[in-house]
Chains A and B, each alone.
Chain A
Amino acid sequence: GENVEQHPSTLSVQEGDSAVIKCTYSDSASNYFPWYKQELGKRPQLIIDIRSNVGEKKDQRIAVTLNKTAKHFSLHITETQPEDSAVYFCAADLGGGTSYGKLTFGQGTILTVHP
């Protein structure tokens, strides 16, 4: 099955700095990669996603890049703000075969933005 590794497990930045979280996946057939943000005590919420036919996607201060050859994808947050502090999860979706319908999540990154 698919395996997703996420790094770093914790990340501390100053307000206004950039933050980068990286994930690698094992199955080259994976073709959909969402990122979720989970604030303390709340549900995970989708913040951005990318499909395998695209190399980069941006949404205001958030961007995701995908390198299919190396099987890794990254989340980039620019001009970080204290409200960006949360746990971030990456995930990979095979989209077919025996794992049809199942997302595989990374272990999560605790991002802390200091004012």
Chain B
Amino acid sequence: NAGVTQTPKFQVLKTGQSMTLQCAQDMNHNSMYWYRQDPGMGLRLIYYSASEGTTDKGEVPNGYNVSRLNKREFSLRLESAAPSQTSVYFCASRLAANQPQHFGDGTRLSIL
């Protein structure tokens, strides 16, 4: 049982490049989330998908787009990367509200 799988694990981009971070879960969870975590900081919600077919903005959505491809997969896209988007990105999923969230191992993204 893999849980939440994120790809890639590491990536270096140049300013202005685009990139899609991939996330897949095999737990039949309904809700999926994207967070960013800056050094020494907490978790900030970028976007979430409460159920298949819906997406909503979180706390810091500017500069990002998401796609809930199907129940298993939720991708995060940076259209024009900026140095301020250098961070660790975590994907998470859970069965429903009031249930635990399960996190992936994260993607460490550096933008030069």
Contacts and interface: CB of A to CB of B under 8 A. Distances in A.
Interface residues of A, number: 23
A100 B50 contact: yes
Q: From DSSP, what is the main secondary structure of chain B's interface residues?
A: loop
Contacts of B100: 34, 46, 49
Contacts, number: 55
A81 B97 CA distance: 33
B69 to A, nearest CB: 18
Contacts of B50: 100-102
A100 B31 CA distance: 10
B39 to A, nearest CB: 11
A95 interface: yes
A103 B42 CA distance: 13
Nearest to A98: B56
